[in-house]
């Protein structure tokens, strides 16, 4: 290896060093030209007025040029410091341009890791997601994926590497979670393909290799012969009065459990028999919430529902929440409170859940009471569109929905009265 820094080098010769004033006053000419500072450093002034610091040297018998940046971002003094650093590397037998190239390659490799690309993908997607979904996705990546493959370059990962991620999740008995995380990783790989960081999505090669998921819907009682004893069991529930009212109301309004748990007295008009839930509190996609910002989901309250709420008013009416928790009145009853109450009544998780009130209502309203499906779906807060493709607003078909909600309430009362009396709590 030979290093040459000869006084006679074309770019090293100079009779006078540059001054800061000369650099500042250098103007564009009809052609690019150079102002030399000596020892290989020169300023290239372009026809457009750009001023570029360059360092020319010979390494292993080959002439090379290294860029130090532009003026005035890099001053004359700073350019000289960079020149000295480069000369020191040359004296030690190191190509200064090679060092920079290696640094760039290392940075490029670091920017090409699975974790970096996954976070880049996540940040692009999150504005269109519901907050809960975004929190779940990032939590799964940080807990199950990044610790295993996050620091590796994405273009080096193979199907076998990703399979190790999914097998660890399966080993915990989280079969459905493994499938969901495989889907997330696939989306990251496809994003990397679209941005030129990898050739293909290697997780596609794992189709059919994960343990099969046995899909199950939320357990629900949909046979009227089963519903009657369940409703009677709620009426004699001997746990918390607040929880009992929440269960009774769940049967009447068939909202999602989270929407019911967070109910606020300010949303309810007992005189009008209406409950107006802000759209922001509904379980809807973020884009739908944004498009319908400020709207409310109107729930007509039957006379029985109003009666239940009036009985609860003296208990929790001084606070903000209709169903406050026992530990703090500032927080609602927990996610699992209603399900635990149903378990306490003797119904296991394969028979009935808090979410099952929705399926119970939808099935019986359609198959037994024969209400139009679009009215039922609208009351379930599903996005229902008219013949022209427009989404119904909160007041659409309100008279029909009020009639349906009252008929539903009356029907449940009839079921409890005429069905065969059986023990209140089922045998385990």
Q: ω before 144 within 30° of 0 (cis)?
A: no
Strand arrangement of the beta sheet that strand 268-269 belongs to: 268-269, 274-278, 296-300
Of the candidates 124, 285, 320, 331, the residue annotated as catalytic is 285
Does 416 qualify as catalytic in the annotation? no
Does 285 qualify as catalytic in the annotation? yes
Of the candidates 392, 397, 403, 426, the residue annotated as catalytic is 392
**Would you call 190 helix, strand, or coil by DSSP?**
helix
Of the candidates 261, 296, 297, 355, the residue annotated as catalytic is 355
Of the candidates 54, 80, 358, 362, the residue annotated as catalytic is 358
CB 69 within 8 A of CB 53: yes
Of the candidates 172, 320, 382, 385, the residue annotated as catalytic is 382
CB 343 within 8 A of CB 219: no
Does 218 qualify as catalytic in the annotation? no
Q: Which of 98, 68, 64, 92 is nearest to 80 (CA)?
A: 68
Does 197 qualify as catalytic in the annotation? no
What residues contact 112, with CB distance under 8 A and at least 6 apart?
Answer: 153, 154, 155, 197
Q: What is the DSSP string of 299-318?
A: EEPPHHHHHHHHHHHHHHTT
Does 54 qualify as catalytic in the annotation? no
CB 110 within 8 A of CB 157: no
Does 191 qualify as catalytic in the annotation? no
Q: What is the DSSP string of 86-138?
A: HHHHHHTT--HHHHHHHHHHHHHHHHTBHHHHHHHHHHHHGGGS-HHHHHHHH
Residues involved in catalysis: 256, 285, 355, 358, 382, 392
């Amino acid at each position: 290896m030979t290093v040459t820094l000869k006084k006679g080098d074309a770019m090293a010769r100079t009779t006078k060093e540059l001054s800061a004033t000369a650099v500042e006053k250098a103007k564009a000419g009809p052609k690019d030209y150079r102002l030399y500072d000596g020892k290989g450093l020169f300023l290239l002034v372009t026809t457009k007025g750009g001023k570029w610091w360059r360092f020319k040297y010979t390494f292993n018998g080959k002439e090379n040029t290294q860029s130090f940046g532009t003026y005035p971002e890099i001053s004359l003094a700073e350019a000289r410091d960079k020149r000295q650093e480069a000369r020191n590397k040359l004296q030690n037998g190191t190509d200064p341009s090679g060092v920079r190239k290696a640094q760039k390659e290392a940075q490029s490799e670091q920017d090409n890791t699975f974790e970096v690309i996954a976070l880049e993908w996540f940040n692009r997607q999150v504005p269109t997601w519901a907050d809960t979904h975004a929190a779940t996705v990032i939590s799964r990546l940080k807990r199950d994926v990044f610790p295993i493959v996050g620091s590796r370059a994405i273009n080096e990962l193979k199907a076998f590497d990703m399979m190790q991620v999914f097998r660890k999740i399966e080993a915990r008995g989280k079969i459905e979670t493994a499938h969901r995380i495989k889907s997330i990783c696939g989306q990251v790989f496809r994003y990397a393909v679209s941005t030129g960081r990898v050739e293909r999505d290697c997780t596609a090669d794992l189709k059919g290799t994960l343990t099969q998921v046995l899909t199950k819907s939320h357990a629900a009682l949909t046979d009227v012969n089963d519903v009657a004893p369940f409703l009677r069991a709620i009426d004699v529930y001997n746990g918390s009065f607040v929880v009992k009212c929440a269960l009774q109301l769940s049967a009447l309004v068939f909202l999602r459990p989270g929407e019911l748990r967070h109910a606020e007295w300010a949303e309810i008009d007992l005189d009008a028999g209406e409950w107006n839930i802000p759209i922001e509190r509904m379980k809807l996609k973020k884009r739908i919430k944004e498009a319908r910002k400020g709207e409310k989901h109107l729930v007509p309250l039957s006379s029985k529902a109003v009666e239940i709420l009036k009985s609860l008013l003296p208990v929790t009416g001084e606070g903000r929440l209709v169903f406050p928790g026992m530990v703090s009145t500032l927080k609602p009853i927990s996610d699992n409170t209603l399900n635990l109450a149903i378990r306490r009544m003797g119904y296991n998780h394969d028979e009935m859940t808090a979410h099952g009130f929705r399926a119970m209502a939808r099935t019986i309203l359609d198959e037994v009471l024969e209400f139009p499906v679009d009215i039922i779906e609208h009351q379930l807060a599903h996005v229902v569109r008219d013949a022209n493709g427009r989404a119904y607003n909160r007041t659409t078909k309100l008279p029909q929905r009020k009639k349906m909600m009252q008929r539903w309430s009356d029907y449940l009362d009839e079921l409890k009265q005429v069905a065969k009396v059986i023990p209140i709590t089922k045998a385990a």
